Structures are given as C-alpha cells and as structure tokens.
Amino acid sequence: MLGRTLGIDLGSSAIKVVELRQTLRGIELVRVETIPVAPEATADPSAQPVEATAAEATGAGDPEAGATTPPALAPELATALRSWAEPSMLAGARLVCAIPGDRVARRRLHLPFRDRRRIAQAVPFEVESETPFDLEDVFVDWERVGGEAGTAEIVATVTPRREVAMRLNALRECGVLPRVLEVEGLVLANLAEWIPLPGTRLLLDLGHRKTTLCLTVDGAPRFARTLPLGGAHLTAALARERSVSFEEAERSKERDGVIGAAGAAGALRVLDRLARDLLRTLGGLDAMLGAAADKSIDGIVLIGGGARLQRIDSFLAERTGIPTARLSIAPASPASALLAGGDPLRFAPALALALRGTLKARTQTNLMRDEFAPRRDLFRIARELRGSVGWAAAALALLIATGLNSIVLEARRASRLEAELAAIWQQAAPGRPLPANVSRALQDTLQQAQQRADLLGIYGGNLSALDLLAEISKLVPPDLAVVFEELSIDGQVVRVRGHTESFAAVDRLRAALAGFPNFGDIRVSEVQADATRGGNNFSVTISLAKAGPPR
C-alpha cells in the first residue's frame, strides 16, 4: 500500500479529492482539490433524486424497473468527473471511492465467536433471512465493531451486485478506475487516524442531499446510517416559502442561515425532522451503548458542507442534549495542511476515503471482489515501473563498474606484492630458482630455519649452547675450587648445579659470571652443606639478556 492514494468524495454539488502519500516513514498530505459540479436541471431533491436507491438499482418490486432506473451518477456529476480525470494525473495512484450509504442495507449481528473465518462463513446466512434478495445477487461484507471475550459484534453490509456494477461502470466511463469501493458511513472512522476522536463520538456528515452518521468508540467504528435529508432540502424549503429560485435560496442560506431567519419556517421543519430522525436512531443504540445516548455519547462532531450552516451546532445540541461542535483541526496535527488547502469540513469525508487506502486504515470493507476485483494490467505496471527499472539498471551498471575497478586495483596490488616477495626470496635464497608460490616457499624456509635453530640451541645474542658452556668455563677463576655437576639450558634460562668448598666460593662464582654482558639476572639458591663430601652444594639460575652484542 505504499505510494499515492486518492480519496474521491462524489458529492452532488462538488467533487472533493484528497491525495496522500504513504511511505515507510508514514503518511503525508500531498494536495486537496475541489471540482465544481454544474447545477442540476431540477435542483429540488424532492422532485428528482440524484441517485437510485438500492431497491431501484436492482429492479426490486418491478421486473421492468431496469429500463427506467436512474443512472448511478447524475449527468452533471459524471461530466465534472470526466473532465477532471486525466489518465496522466491518476496513473499509478490508488483510487478509493464509495457507494452512498442509502443504497445499501446494514445489519447488526452478535456472534458467539471471534474467529474471522467462522465469521465470514456465518454472516451471509445470518442476513439471508432479512434480505429480499438471493445471496448470489448481493455482496455481503462485514466489519467487526466490538464484542467481549469469545464474542463478536458485527456490522454487516448488504449491497446488490447490480448496484456495484452500475457504480463501477459509471466511474470507468468517466476514466476513474478505483482499487477500493467502500460504503459511506463506517469509513468516516478512518479520520481518527489523523484527528483525535477520544471516547464515544458521533460523526455527522451533513451533505447536500443526505446526512451520514458514524458512531466511534475511541476511534473504532461501531455503527453507521444514512438519513435522506441534507442541505438541498433546506434550500428547496426556502425557495418554496420565499418564491425564489433554488440558486437564490442557496445564497441566502449560506449568507443568513435558516435558524432565526425570516421566511424560513419550512427549512426549520426540515431541521426538526432531521433532529427527530437522529434522536430515533440514537434511541436504538441504547442497548449497545449501555445507557441513553445523551449520557453515553461524549459529543457530536459535524463535518461536510452543511456543517457551515449558522448555529447548526447549537441547534443540534439543544435538540439532542449532546454537546455538538464542528470538526476542529490543531495547527500541529498531520491534517493541518487541510487548513491551507481548503475547508477541512468539506474535505473530511475525502480524507477518510484516502486514509482507507493506506496501511493505517481502520475499516476494511471493499466491494471490489469476485468478478469486480481489479485485474492486473501488466502493461500499465510496466509503464509505471519504467522509471524505476531505468534507475535500477543504472545502479546495476554502476555496481558492475565499481566491481571491475576493484578487481583491477586488487590485481595491480597483487602484482606488486609478488614482485616484492620475489626480491625477498632472492635475498633469502640467492642462486635458488624462484618457486611458483613464493609466499609459501618463504614460510617453509623460515620454518626450516627455526627448526635448525632449535636443534643447535641458538639463544640471545646468536649464542649456541656450546658458546655458553665455553663462556662459563672462561669466567670461572682458575683458583676457584668448584665442580659443575649439572648444566641445563631451557630457552633463555641457564641452570647450573654444583659443589664448592665454601659459601664464599659461591659468591665469587656469582660475581665472575656477572662479568659476561649476555647474562642478565643471576640468582644463587639451594646452598646446602654436603655432609658426605663436606663443603656446599648450590644452584645458580642465569637469565639471558634479550639483546647483546653480536659475536
């Protein structure tokens, strides 16, 4: 999921796009964009719905309904999308779109196990009895939204396959090839990845033709629903009551609002209906929340273009008894770039879709499965990787050149070493032919010389064992009565055992031996009286000096 991800929010009045880049270090916001949608031929939502319902899309209730089913995208929306979707701009990006929540059915299920494989097998059979379609005609997807140990709370989404086909065909005709097709509602929980949503929060997306709810608990999705009321219904009520055009009523609504405004009784009735539907929906959640909604929900967070309506936050807070506020973004948060790119309230749903296409997604619904699963375009992948392959080839060529250069340098160094070894051989073995392996021959010659030295007894100062014996004989005074009974040489130590008439004679011997420069430390020990012969037995230990004058 690394790379570019585009969340495309297909609103009936404008298309909002948020582009993210997923890297190994995290997610960064690249850009936000708004594509205006031309006003519809009939702007009153009560006169001409923009999108078909799920039942209409599948022809339920009327075998001939397929011939008159409204398009999956309104013509004005399709035209705007087609003019925006340039292949060069979308190449290599992961596109995430959504099916409107009012075109699917949702069911809450409680299962006595949590294993994902068992859940995937059980959910279709659990919803089959509550669905007016055959299972082979629908997609059944699900999200695990809670549950205690050993149990699972599931929100199952049932979508007619024909509905998915219509949506995908309409998008592809506009040049948009999504990789993920979500369902509006639970997908809003992905905002919690960038925007703190602690505790229990109700996200309320006030759109142009509908209002989408998403209940989250500590950022995790728990419930979603779509109410068929939006900003366009307020505008239509204003237009009828004031006998003005839809466009003029829209401008008046944006400028003055409808709460407390003159000639807005009809619009207030629409808001009252929205509040009643919201309260009924929340009332059905008491069992799940464990208490009344006004006691268990920490706050309502308003997003979408309708959230800009003046005093809408205080109106909903008064009607529901729940603290209500528009979405706020801290300047230091990851989503703060939305403040510079545009209205964060309008771009929040598109941001949620873009986050769905990253590694940080909190929802996993994707209707692009089975026959609708995206096929791998090997030629497109090759085109996308062309630049990377070029860089890889250049890096490989550089690596090969570096390796060849290292080989040449090592060969030259080896040639120099061989020449130096040959010169050393000529000095160590003059007149002898140069062997094939000079290094090995030098090692063998050195080892042989060491063996001969050990055999002859070569010690410090180039003295042999015979040289040491001769020196000791010379150093003993002629008038000194001393008998050497044992003499041993062990490495750099000479040990002498002998007999003399008196202790004074031993001292004279020690003093005489000290006159030889190749002798280092001289120690006399084990001086004992000899009861048999008389006189004294003694031992002398001589340490050879490490360096001495050559002889």
162 SS3 class: helix
In terms of Cβ atoms closer than 10 Å to its own Cβ (0-12, 13-18, 19+), residue 504 is exposed
Query: What is the C-alpha separation between 354 and 21, in angstroms, rounded?
Result: 9
Structure-block tokens of residue 204: 């309320």
Is the domain of 407 the same as that of 539? no
Question: Same domain, yes or no, for 482 and 357?
Answer: no
pLDDT at position 107 is 86
Task: Give yes or no: residues 164 and 91 share one domain.
Answer: yes
206 is a domain residue: no
Per residue in 85-120, pLDDT tens?
888 788 889 999 999 888 888 888 889 998 989 998
Domain assignment present for residue 267? The answer is: no
pLDDT band for position 59 (cuts 50, 70, 90): very low
pLDDT band at residue 48, thresholds of 50, 70 and 90? Answer: very low
**pLDDT tens, residue by residue, 320-365:** 999 999 998 877 777 777 766 668 888 999 999 999 999 889 898 8
Residue 549 has pLDDT above 70, yes or no: no
CB atoms within 10 A of CB 304: 28
> Which residue type does 61 have?
G
Q: How many domains does the chain contain in total?
A: 3
pLDDT band at 58 (very low <50, low <70, confident <90, very high): very low
Least confident of 13-22, 486-495, 513-522, 542-551: 542-551
71 alpha-carbon distance from chain centroid? 40
CB atoms within 10 A of CB 251: 13
CA separation for the pair 376, 374 (Å, rounded): 6
Answer yes or no: do 483 and 350 share one domain: no
**AA letter at 493:** V
Q: Answer whether 16's CB lies under 8 Å from 350's CB.
A: yes
Residues 190, 2: Cα–Cα separation, whole Å: 17
Per-residue pLDDT for 528 more than 60?
Answer: yes
> Domain of 480: which CATH number?
3.30.1360.100
Parallel/antiparallel/unpaired status of strands 180-183 and 152-160: unpaired
Q: Which of 238-242, 299-303, 368-372 has the lowest mean pLDDT?
A: 368-372
176 and 96 in a single domain? The answer is: yes
- 278-303 pLDDT, tens digit per residue, is 999 999 888 888 888 889 999 999 99
49 has pLDDT over 80: no
Would you place residue 51 in the very low, low, confident or very high pLDDT band (cuts 50, 70, 90)?
very low
Mean pLDDT of 15-19: 93
Range of the domain at 501: 457-544
The gap from C-alpha 411 to its chain's centroid, in whole angstroms, comes to: 44
What phi and psi, each to the nearest 5 degrees, are found at residue 525?
A: -145, 170
Is 243 inside a domain boundary? no
Q: Averaged over 193-212, what is the pLDDT?
A: 92
What does the pLDDT read at residue 43? 57
Neighbours of 106 (CB within 10 A): 20
Same domain, 68 and 164: yes
Tokens of 49: 């719905």
> Are 355 and 481 within one domain?
no
Please name the residue that has the structure tokens 């009861």.
531
**Residues 407, 476 share a domain:** no
> Would you state the structure tokens that stand for residue 464, as one six-digit string?
């042999």
Please state, in angstroms and rounded to a whole number, the distance separating the CA atoms of residues 344 and 9: 13
| CATH number of domain containing 66 | 3.30.420.40
Pairing of strands 14-23, 482-490: unpaired
Q: Domain check: are 337 and 422 in the same one?
A: no
How far from each other are the two terminal CA atoms of the chain, in whole angstroms? 83
Q: Quick check: 296 and 350 in contact, CB under 8 A?
A: no
Give me the pLDDT at residue 68, please: 45
Is 278 within a domain? no
Residue written as token pair 């948009």: 176
Residue 174 pLDDT level (bands cut at 50, 70, 90):
very high
* 494 in a structural domain: yes
Cα distance between residue 123 and residue 102, in whole Å: 21
Let me know whether 450 and 461 are in one domain: no
Tell me, yes or no, whether 168 and 24 share the same domain: yes
DSSP class of residue 522 equals E
Tokens of 112: 């006595």
Q: What is the pLDDT of residue 98?
A: 93
Between 420 and 203, whose confidence is greater? Answer: 203
Q: How confident is the model at residue 61 (pLDDT cuts 50, 70, 90)?
A: very low
Task: State the average pLDDT over residues 367-396.
Answer: 70
Alpha-carbon gap, residue 433 to 122, rounded angstroms: 89
Q: Is 252 a member of any domain?
A: no
Q: Choose between 471 and 413: higher pLDDT.
A: 413
Is residue 448 one of the residues assigned to a domain?
Answer: yes
Q: Quick: pLDDT tens for 387-418.
A: 667 778 888 888 898 888 888 888 888 888 88
Q: Buried (b) or exposed (e) across 214-241, using 16+ Cβ within 10 A? A: bbbbebbbbbbbbbebbbbbbbbbbbeb
Do both 414 and 495 map to the same domain? no
Sign of CA dihedral 46, 50, 55, 58: positive
Give the pLDDT confidence score for residue 536 in this predicted structure: 82
Q: Which position has the token pair 């969340």?
A: 7
Is residue 148's pLDDT more than 90?
Answer: no
For residue 240, the surrounding DSSP H or E stretch is helix 231-242
Average pLDDT, the chain: 82
Rounded Cα–Cα distance for residues 400 and 38 (Å): 58
Contact 131, 22 (CB under 8 A): no
Residue 37 domain flag: yes
Reduce the DSSP state of residue 41 to 3 states and report it: coil
